[in-house]
C-alpha cells in the first residue's frame, strides 16, 4: 500500500474541473500529493517515477513501461478542441518548417502524423527558432486564433482524417495502485465535472475566448471506446514516423 500517492496534474484550464474534484475529495486530499506542472513535465514526472500517476499526454504512454490507464476520463474532444493548433504564416500545403511546442507531447506527434498521412507533405521539424508554422497548445492559445494568418485546429483535423474523436491526455499510472484509491480517484474526477458552473464562474473574461463553450462543448472528458480506438490508432501511427 502506498501512503502518499503523488499525482501529476496539468496547470491548464482544461484540467480545472478534475482539480476541483481532487481537491474536494477528503480521501484524495489526505492520501495524495498534487504536483502541478505543464503536460510534458507531468509526463516526465511519471516516466522518472517522481509521480505515481498523472494526466499523461498519450504520446508519453510509449515511454512508461507497464503503464495503466486509470478511470473513465480524459482530456479529449470530438472534432474542434479550440486549444490545440498549428498557427501558420502560410497555407498548410506551403509549410516548410514546423516548430513544436515544448509543453506538448501528443499534439507535437499529432501534427507530424497529420503532415505525413493527412496532408501528405514533408516538413522540417524544429524545437526552437524560426519557422513558418508552430504547434501551440493550452491556455497560451486562448484568443490567439484570429491573430494568425492560418489556424488549424488539430482536434478537427484528426476527426476529418480518421472520423474519430480524440483523447490528448489520459490519467495513467506507472505502477499498480490500490483499487480503493482508484475508485476514489475516479469518483473525485466525476464529482469535479459536476461542478462545471463553479469552475467557469471563477474564470476571468477574455475578449476573444469563450470559456463556457470551451469547457462545456469543445472539450469532451469521457474516455469512450471510440477514444480508446483513437489512442491505439495514434500510437500505431506515431511509431511509424
Instruction: Write out the residues near ligand ISJ by the rule CB under 6 A.
Output: 10, 12, 14, 39, 57, 75, 81, 83-84, 104-107, 137-138, 168-169
Mapping DSSP onto H, E and C, the string for the chain reads: CCCCEEEEEECCHHHHHHHHHHHHCHHHHHHEEEEEECHHHHHHHHHCCCCCEEEEEHHHHHHCCCCEEEEEEEEEECCCCCCEEEEECCCHHHCCEEECCCCCCHHHHHHHHHHHHHCCCCCEEECCCCCCEEEEEHHHHCCCHHHCCEEEEHHHHHHHHHCCCEEEEEEEECCCCCHHHHHHHHHHHHHHHHCHHHHHHCCCCECCECHHHHHHHHEEEECCHHHHHHHHHHHHHHCCC
Smallest separation (angstroms) from ligand ISJ to the CB of 240? 19
Smallest separation (angstroms) from ligand ISJ to the CB of 91? 23
Nearer to ligand ISJ, 144 or 229 (CB): 144
Smallest separation (angstroms) from ligand ISJ to the CB of 167? 9
Nearer to ligand ISJ, 27 or 161 (CB): 161
Nearer to ligand ISJ, 8 or 31 (CB): 8
Nearer to ligand ISJ, 179 or 204 (CB): 204
Smallest separation (angstroms) from ligand ISJ to the CB of 14? 5
Amino acid at each position: 500500500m502506498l501512503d502518499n500517492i503523488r499525482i501529476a496534474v496539468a496547470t491548464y484550464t482544461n484540467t480545472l474541473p478534475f482539480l476541483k474534484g481532487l481537491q474536494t475529495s477528503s480521501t484524495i486530499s489526505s492520501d495524495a500529493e498534487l504536483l502541478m506542472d505543464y503536460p510534458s513535465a507531468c509526463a516526465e514526472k511519471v516516466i522518472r517515477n517522481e509521480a505515481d500517476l498523472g494526466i499523461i499526454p498519450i504520446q508519453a504512454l510509449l515511454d512508461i513501461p507497464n503503464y495503466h490507464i486509470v478511470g473513465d476520463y480524459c482530456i479529449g474532444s470530438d472534432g474542434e478542441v479550440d486549444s490545440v493548433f498549428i498557427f501558420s504564416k502560410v497555407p498548410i500545403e506551403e509549410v516548410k518548417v514546423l516548430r513544436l511546442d515544448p509543453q506538448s507531447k501528443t499534439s507535437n506527434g499529432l501534427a507530424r502524423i497529420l503532415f505525413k498521412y493527412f496532408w501528405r507533405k514533408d516538413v522540417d521539424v524544429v524545437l526552437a527558432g524560426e519557422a513558418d508554422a508552430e504547434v501551440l497548445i493550452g491556455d497560451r492559445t486562448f484568443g490567439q486564433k484570429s491573430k494568425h494568418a492560418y489556424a488549424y485546429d488539430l482536434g478537427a483535423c484528426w476527426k476529418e482524417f480518421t472520423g474519430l474523436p480524440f483523447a490528448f491526455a489520459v490519467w495513467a499510472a506507472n505502477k499498480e495502485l490500490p483499487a480503493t484509491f482508484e475508485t476514489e480517484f475516479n469518483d473525485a474526477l466525476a464529482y469535479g465535472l459536476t461542478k462545471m458552473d463553479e469552475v467557469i464562474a471563477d474564470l476571468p473574461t477574455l475578449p476573444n475566448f469563450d470559456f463556457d463553450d470551451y469547457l462545456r462543448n469543445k472539450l469532451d472528458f469521457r474516455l469512450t471506446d471510440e477514444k480508446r480506438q483513437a489512442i491505439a490508432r495514434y500510437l500505431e501511427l506515431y511509431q511509424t514516423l
